[in-house]
Structure 1
């Protein structure tokens, strides 16, 4: 089963617990009612930006929303190489949460691998907040508001996540980077 089908009932239950209709949730998140309903029924992949927006609005930890488990560490949370919590919420990206053990996070750090694809296959997303990307391996095309930026290892970019953005690996190879979402 795709992980977003496990997340969908938690989204619906959380909205229910808040006492909101799908229409009220859509209005609070500046989304369409159709989006809210599709995500809550597990009909489509759920963008990480939407999950972040819901977790912030409802004051629920992102790890709890995604996994159903509570993070518990408050002083520090060590995540060894290869141990990140896999966030299998998109077919085309490999997300690993690096802060999933820490309770009360104010940022969401991810280790992300993006495969190569054609420019036509790039899917735009946007969400509240700000984002910081630091390139580790490969070359990445990041389109922000339709403007392509090419990032190489050691490059970084900080941007407003509300701007529509899309990613792809270049040169037939995956791009690997750290992504911090605030």
Structure 2
């Protein structure tokens, strides 16, 4: 939750610098006022989809919103193995941003590791945009609108991110994949 405590003031500052009320921000993002307040007070886990929506709406780089630092590279950005920027956005997934150094990104590529868990504890999320997942290791259960898809290394799926989706690793091991969010 410490990362949310760092992001929350940036969310408030960004909204206030633009001159929007909580209600205006909520209306523009298509969420409730309680959702905005929960994220801005760091009492609720902040989904990456929400951060993406805020960054796009406010024309602020996602890296800046998450880390408080500006990306500077414009021609290319090399990220070596193990160097991805850790995005502690969900306590049950390991997210590493692979494009965090590049200024003006049109997509958000992540290396994600999802641990195994009980199917009843899967948490659905949805957000604006589209996603492309390419499996690297393990097996992943991806539920799209409640329907399970089982993905293995080499499999890929492209879907509308507004479709409620949830994930879990299978076979008592983590599932690793590249997730590109547009």
Coarse TM-score class (shorter-chain normalised): over 0.9
Residue matched to 1:74:
74
For structure 1, the residue ranges without an aligned partner over 5 or more in a row are none
The alignment status of 1:52 with 2:45, answered yes or no, reads no
Residue matched to 2:154:
154
2:179 match: secondary structure:
strand
Residue matched to 2:64:
64
**1:145 Cα offset (Å):** 0.6
* 1:18-37 equivalence runs, <5 A: 18-37=18-37
Distance 1:149 1:85 in 2: 28
Distance 2:17 2:153 in 1: 44
4+ residue runs over 4 A deviation: none
Superposed CA deviations along residues 114-166 of structure 1, whole A, max 9, x for unmatched, are 00001111111111100000000000000011110000000000000011000
Count how many residue pairs are aligned between Structure 1 and Structure 2.
182
Distance 2:173 2:32 in 1: 35
**1:112 Cα offset (Å):** 0.2
1:110 match: secondary structure:
strand
Distance 2:172 2:32 in 1: 36
Residue matched to 2:114:
114
Residue matched to 2:165:
165
For structure 2, the residue ranges without an aligned partner over 5 or more in a row are none
TM-score scaled by structure 2?
Answer: 0.99
Distance 1:120 1:48 in 2: 22
The alignment status of 1:101 with 2:94, answered yes or no, reads no
